[in-house]
Amino acid sequence: MKVRQISIFLENRSGRLASVLSEMAKAGVNIRALSLADTSDFGILRLIVDKVEAGVKALKDGGYTVSLTEVLAVEVPDQPGGLAGILEALSQADLNVEYMYAFVCRATEKAVVVFRFENVTVAIEALKAAGISILPAETVYSF
């Protein structure tokens, strides 16, 4: 259920993102979803890929600072208020979202939102209790 996301520290300089992506390409790792958090000096690139271990190894060998973070992927009903309903449930469970990003699943053409919580295990329980289904990790890696 928990999806392993690769987080990479990047300096805010031209060419850094391209360089990470070329490491992934060389290692034959395909990127499923991507988000970049940036500040004026640095950025944090978050990737969900098909081959997590190979991706991490390629980046570490390339000298990047990398960490693995557990996130949850939730399919959002494609209708007005779809995401609002999920966030409402999280709010009622007193769960704070550290960050989130969305992408569209190619196969189902449904919106998928990736959430990062402080405590993943508690979040899983809360989402289940609210009747929100969490996508299995394998499904996310092979979108």
Q: What is the contact surface with other proteins in residues (CB under 8 A)?
A: 5, 7, 9-11, 16, 37, 39, 41-42, 44, 46, 63-67, 69, 98-99, 116
Nearer to other proteins, 75 or 137 (CB): 137
Query: What CA–CA distance (Å, rounded) separates 109 from 6?
Result: 24
What's the CA gap between 127 and 133, in Å, rounded?
7
CB of residue 66 vs other proteins: minimum separation in angstroms?
Answer: 7
Closest distance to other proteins from the beta carbon of 16 (Å): 8
Closer residue to other proteins (CB): 69 or 139: 69
CB of residue 10 vs other proteins: minimum separation in angstroms?
Answer: 7
